[in-house]
Chain A
Amino acid sequence: MESTEPEPSDSRPEEEEEEEEEEEEEEEEEDGALLPPEQPLAAVEDCLAKKMEITVSEAEKRTGRNAMNIQETYTAYLIETRAVESQIEGQCAPVESLWRRYSEFELLRNYLSVTYPHIVVPPLPEKRLSADNMDPDFVERRRIGLENFLLRVASHPVLCQDKIFYAFLMQEGGWKEMVNETGFQLKADSRLKALNATFRVKNPDKRFTELKHYSDELQSVISHLLRVRARVADRLYGVYKVHGNYGRVFSEWSAIEKEMGDGLQSAGHHMDVYAASIDDILEEEEHYADQLKEYLFYAEALRAVCRKHELMQYDLEMAAQDLTSKKQQCEELATGTVRTFSLKGMTSKLFGQETPEQREAKIKVLEEQIREGEEQLKSKNLEGRDFVKSAWADIERFKEQKNHDLKEALISYAVMQISMCKKGIQVWTNAKECFSKM
C-alpha cells in the first residue's frame, strides 16, 4: 500500500531558504520564487485524491478570542478524511477529522501560491465582504466551495504531494506555526499585489502575454455572464410567481360557475404548482453559477502565473542591463575612455583623475560584481526557462481541465433547461386537460 509520505525533496524549499537569506542582502527585491526542484509529477492514480476521501462535511458557529483578544464569531468547517485503499480489504478505515476556519484555508492557499508560482493554484470560494457571513445559505455554499478546493488540490499532480497540504488535512495543532516556519511570506513578492502596475518588459514572451490577455477577457466575460444570468433568473422568478395569482382567481371564479367550476378549480391548482416550481429550478441554477464562478477565480490564478513570469522576465532584463552597464564601467575605467556620458566621468574631469590605485580597486570590485552578476544571470536564465517549462505544462493541464469542466457544466445547464421545459409542458398539459373538461 503506497503511502503518501512527504518526499524528502519537500524539505528542500527550506534549504533553499537559507541560501536565499544570504542572497537577500544583496538583492532585496529578488523574487524569491525559486522553484522546488523538479519532482516527478505524480501520476493521476497517485494523486492524493485517489487515495483518500476528503470531505468538508459540516460547518459550525464558534466564538473565540482573536489575536487582539477581542471576542469574535466565526464559522469552523469540519474536514473529514479517510484512506480509500483499506476499504478494498473489506475494512472501513477510520475517519479522521479536524476543524479549520476560512482564514486557515486562505493561509494554505497563499502558501501554495508562493511556493509553486508556476502552478495555477485552485481558487477558494469568494471572500464575501458584505453583511452576513453567518447566513446559512452562504455558509452552505462556502462549505461546498471549500470541499471543492481541497479536492482540486488533492487531484493536482504537484500540489497533492506538498507536506504542508497534507498537514492541513491531518494535523490540527501546530499547523499554523509549521506554515509560518516555511518562511513563505518572505518569498512573497509584494509587487504581485499591485495587479495593474506595468513593468516594461523589452522581450515579453508572446505566449504569456496572450495568456494574460486571455485571462483578463475570461474574467470579464464570466463576470458579465453571471450578472446577466442573475437578472434573467430574477425576471423568470417574477413570471412564474405571477401565474400563481391565476390559481387564486380561478378558484374564486369557479365558486360562481356550475359546469365550468370543477375544471377551473383544478386548473387553478396546476397554476399554483407552476408558480411553486420555480424555486427548485433556480436553486439548481445556482449550482451552475457556482461552477462558472470557480472558473472566474481560476482566471485570476492564471493571471497570477503570467504576472509572476512577467516579473521574472523583468528582473532578468534588469539584471542583464545592470551587468552590461557594469561591464561598460569596467571597460571605461580600464581603458580610460569615456564612451558615454557618466557622472563619474564628469566629476573626475572636474575634480581630477583618480589615482591608479583607486582605479585598480574599483576595477577589481567591478570585476567581482561582474562575475557574480554573470553567474546570477545564468541561474536566472535557467530559472526562467524552468519556470516557463513547468508553468506551461501546468497551463496545458489547466486548459484541459477547464475545457472538460466547462463542457460538462454547459451540458448540465442545458439538461436543466430541458427539464424545466418538460415540467412546464407537463403543467400546461394538465391545465389544458382541466380546461377541456369545463
Chain B
Amino acid sequence: AASAPKPLPSSGPKSLREMPHPLATSSSEEMGPALTPSPDLLLPRSIADKDLSLPNGTPVDTSSPASSSSLLNRLQLDDDLDVETRDLFVTVDDPKKHVCTMETYITYRVTTKTTRAEFDLPEYSVRRRYQDFDWLKNKLEESQPTHLIPPLPEKFVVKGVVDRFSEEFVETRRKALDKFLKRITDHPVLSFNEHFNVFLTAKDLNAYKKQGMALLSKMGESVKYVTGGYKLRSRPLEFAAIGDYLDTFSLKLGTIDRIAQRIIKEQLEYLVELREYGPVYSTWGGLEVELSEPLEGVSACIGNCCTALEELSEDMTEDFLPVLREYILYAESMKNVLKKRDQVQAEYEAKLEAVALKREDRPKVPTDVEKCQDRVECFNADLKADMERWQNNKRQDFRQLLMGMADKNIQYYEKVCVT
C-alpha cells in the first residue's frame, strides 16, 4: 500500500520509543498506514549494532527497535558503577627506548587485568609503541563511527625544540596514552571492541594489522560514508546545540591554554630576576658583620622561593596544559562525529526523498533507506549517551585539574611562607 513518507525522526530514542514493540505485534492490520515500513525494521540492523552486547555477555536483541533505548538506559546506569564492579583494568607504564638500524623509538608496557570472558587469560602484558595506539584509534573510528573515540596525544610535536626522547616528553605522552586506554576501558561499547582486545593481548600486533588490511575490503567493515552529494537541510536542534557548545568550548579552552602559557612564561621571567635577587643579599651579607646572618637568611629564602616557583611552573606544564589540549582535541573529534552524523542524516533524507518520488523501487530502496535511518538512530543514541558520560567525566577531570592547579599554587605559597 502506498504510504506517505515517514516523518523524519527528530531524535533517535524518542521516535524509537514511539514505535510499537515488534514482538508485541503479530498482525499487520493493527498497524496504521504510517507504520507500514515497520516490518522491514525487523531486518538485521546496520553494522553498527554488530558489536553491541551487554556487559554481562548476553547479546542485545538487535531485532528490537527499542533495544537502543534500553541500551541507553543501561548506559546511564553504567555511570553509577563502582570501581569494584569493573572487570577490566589497563595501565600504560615503563617506557623504554629501542635503537634499531632503521630507527629509534619508544615502547610502553601495556598491562591488562580482567575477568571478562572475551579474554582468554586473566592477565596480559605487551609492549606497544605510539604507532600501535594510532592504529587502534583509527580502527575504533572505523568500526565504531557513531561513538566518540577518546583523543590521542599529538603525533608530532610542533613546538620545535622539544626532544622526542626527553624524560618530560615521554612521561607526558605516557600519561596521555594511559588515559586514552582507560577511557576506552570505561566505555561500555568500545571496551568490547575486537581490535581493542587484540591490541591488549596480541604478542605480534603487526601480523594482525596486516591481516586486518586484507580483510578490510572483504568484510566491508568500515562503513564508508559518501561525502559528496548529501547536504543536510537542518541539523536537529539538539545536535545544533551540541555543535555550538563545542565551538564555544574549544574556543574558551584555547584561550585558557594561551593564558596558562603566558602565565608560565611570566613566571619564568620572574624566576630569572629572582635568581639574581637572592645572591645580592648574600654579597651584602659578606660586607656586614652584625647584619650578615639576617641577610644570608633572606638570600636563602629567596633561593627557596625560586625552587618552589620552578616546581609550580613544571607542574603546570606537565599536568595542566596537556589536559587542556586533550580536551580541545576531544572537542574536535566530537565535532567530526557530529558532521558524520549530519552526513548520515542527509543521506537518509535524500534517499527518503528519492523513495517518495520513485514508487516502483520501493522494495529495494526502503531497505537502503531503512539502513540509513538505522544508522541515524543509532548514531544519535550513541552520541547522546557518549555526550553525557563525556560531560560527566569532563567535569570530574576539570575539577581535578583546576583543584590541582589551585593546590600547586597553595603549596608554592606555603613553601614560601615556611622559609
Contacts and interface: CB of A to CB of B under 8 A. Distances in A.
Interface in A221-266: 221-222, 224-225, 228-229, 231-232, 234-236, 238-239, 242-243, 245-246, 249, 252-253, 256, 259-260, 263
Interface stretch (B40-48, B260-268, B340-348): B260-268
B248 to A, nearest CB: 5
A294 to B, nearest CB: 15
A235 B280 CA distance: 18
B113 to A, nearest CB: 31
A138 interface: no
A407 B301 CA distance: 16
B413 A221 contact: no
A221 B283 contact: yes
B263 A243 contact: yes
A432 interface: yes
A436 interface: yes
Nearest to B408: A428
A45 to B, nearest CB: 25
Contacts of B105: none
Nearest to A403: B290
Contacts of B294: 407, 410-411
B273 A235 contact: yes
B287 A410 contact: no
Contact of B406 (A229, A231, A432): A432
Contact of B410 (A239, A403, A428): A428
Nearest to B263: A242
Interface in B196-252: 245, 248-249, 252
A44 B301 CA distance: 37
B192 to A, nearest CB: 29
Contact of B291 (A225, A246, A403, A435): A403
Contact of B256 (A246, A413, A425): A246
Interface residues of A, number: 48
Contact of B259 (A224, A245, A429): A245
Interface stretch (A80-88, A144-152, A312-320, A414-422): A414-422
Given A225-B284, A422-B417, A438-B395, A232 B267 contact: no
B270 A421 contact: no
A431 interface: yes
B61 interface: no
B395 A236 contact: no
Contact of B298 (A224, A245, A256, A414): A414
Interface in B380-395: 395
A371 B281 CA distance: 55
Nearest to B254: A249
Contacts of B413: 421-422, 424-425, 428
B276 A228 contact: yes
Contacts of B6: none
A333 interface: no
Nearest to A229: B277
A235 B276 CA distance: 13
A222 B284 contact: yes
A407 B294 CA distance: 7
B164 interface: no
Contacts of A104: none
B399 interface: yes
A273 interface: no
Nearest to B414: A425
B259 A436 contact: no
B409 A239 contact: no
B165 interface: no
B78 interface: no
A413 B277 CA distance: 14
Contact of A228 (B263, B269, B277, B295): B277
18 contacts: A229-B277, A235-B266, A239-B263, A242-B263, A260-B395, A414-B301, A417-B301, A422-B413, A424-B410, A425-B417, A428-B409, A428-B410, A431-B402, A432-B403, A432-B406, A436-B403, A438-B399, A438-B402
